[in-house]
Amino acid sequence: MATVTVGGDDIKLEPFSARKAIRVIRTIEAIAKGVPDVLDEWAAFTRRYEAANVTEIDRATARSRFGPEPLMDEEPVIHNGNALTDGAGNVLTRRTPKLDEQNRPVMGPDPLGHMTEEDWAAAGHKLRMPKSPSNEEKIAAIFPKALDLAEAETLRLLALLAMSNAEVKHAARADIKEALDKRADEMLDAPAEDLLELAVAAGEMVEDQFVSKVKALGERLPNGLRLFGLNPKSQTTTDELSSSESSTTKPTSSTDSPTPTDGTSEPRSTEPVGASSSPSHDG
């Protein structure tokens, strides 16, 4: 049992009763229904941002900035027979240029090699590079819509987590929604970091109470799911066949794209709008 302080009051997070667990699941489902709207706003903002923030560079600059680069060999850094790692446990690697028989660097594909003379002419001999918004900018843009969802359901979920099993049982006999709204209104006076700590602690408890139990049941779990008309074994077989068929028919591409230059981690295409993918005729 964990104890969290919210607004000066100690809240004991006891294992969920079945009644409380069902209510928690229903509240999470209500929140999930609003997620598509938030994601739609996220995507719409990204499109508007990229349409309004476009960098154009001339052909010579594009060729200079996005020319072919040497292929690199990577090997772990070994010390006393062991691979060295960084503070996060990632293996440190040493990168060296790949060389041909004449000891010359082997160059990788040309990122702009697919651009024909017709493509350059259609683009005005300029390369258009839309700038993608950072995650911070996206979050700021969708915050109002996300806040609308949080006010209605997320606070109600936190209020539910803060209630004991006995309080939930008592409220269920009267008006559970009214009780949750009242508790949520009281919690709005608490520091935001307290509510975040409550959510994290509750999530950890759910992990211990449910996820660990599911793992412990192991091969016995399907026997319980069959009571609800589910046959995990058949579903797994179907999923595996579908995955196998997809892996054998899905085409892959080995063509590299120019590296993003706006500081974000999201990949994006830097080729001109409407450019074709015909073989290169550009020298």
Please say whether the beta carbons of 108 and 71 come within 8 A.
Answer: yes
Q: What is the pTM of this model?
A: 0.40
Separation CA 225–CA 134 (nearest Å): 43
Which position has the token pair 């503070």?
A: 87
Separation CA 116–CA 7 (nearest Å): 65
Q: What is the dihedral of CA 265, 136, 194, 190, to 10 degrees?
A: -170
- Per-residue pLDDT at 158: 80
- Return mean pLDDT, the chain: 75
Summarize pLDDT for 182-213 with one digit per residue, the tens.
888 888 788 878 877 887 887 777 777 666 66
H-run or E-run covering 57: strand 54-58
What average pLDDT does the segment 2-27 reach? 81
Least confident stretch, 37-51, 113-127, 217-231:
217-231
Looking at mean pLDDT, say which of 4-8, 76-80, 132-136, 144-148 comes out highest.
Answer: 76-80
- Per-residue pLDDT at 225: 65
- Per-residue pLDDT at 118: 93
- Per-residue pLDDT at 71: 92
- Per-residue pLDDT at 86: 86
What is the pLDDT confidence band of residue 257, given thresholds at 50, 70 and 90?
very low
What is the pLDDT confidence band of residue 126, given thresholds at 50, 70 and 90?
very high
Query: DSSP secondary-structure letter at 7?
Result: T
Summarize pLDDT for 166-185 with one digit per residue, the tens.
888 888 888 888 888 888 88
H-run or E-run covering 74: strand 72-76
Task: Decide which of 262 and 204 is more confident.
Answer: 204
Summarize pLDDT for 105-120 with one digit per residue, the tens.
999 999 998 999 999 9
| Radius of gyration for the chain, computed over Cα atoms and rounded to the nearest angstrom | 28
Which position has the token pair 């999923």?
A: 239
Q: What is the dihedral of CA 39, 43, 48, 52, to 10 degrees?
A: 130
Task: Decide which of 132 and 154 is more confident.
Answer: 132
Query: DSSP secondary-structure letter at 207?
Result: I
Separation CA 279–CA 118 (nearest Å): 11
Task: Decide which of 232 and 191 is more confident.
Answer: 191
- Per-residue pLDDT at 267: 43
Q: In 3-state terms, what secondary structure has residue 2? A: strand
Separation CA 162–CA 14 (nearest Å): 10
Position 258: which residue type?
P
Give the chain's length.
283
- Per-residue pLDDT at 211: 65
Please say whether the beta carbons of 101 and 58 come within 8 A.
Answer: no
Bridge pairing between strands 72-76 and 93-97: antiparallel
Please say whether the beta carbons of 159 and 180 come within 8 A.
Answer: yes
Does residue 80 have a pLDDT over 60? Answer: yes
Separation CA 110–CA 204 (nearest Å): 49
Which structure tokens are listed for 185?
Answer: 């209104």
- CB < 8 Å & 24+ apart, contacts of 223-226: none
Separation CA 68–CA 112 (nearest Å): 9
Summarize pLDDT for 42-57 with one digit per residue, the tens.
888 888 888 889 889 9
Q: In 3-state terms, what secondary structure has residue 204? A: helix
Does residue 232 have a pLDDT over 60? Answer: no
Which position has the token pair 């680069």?
A: 69
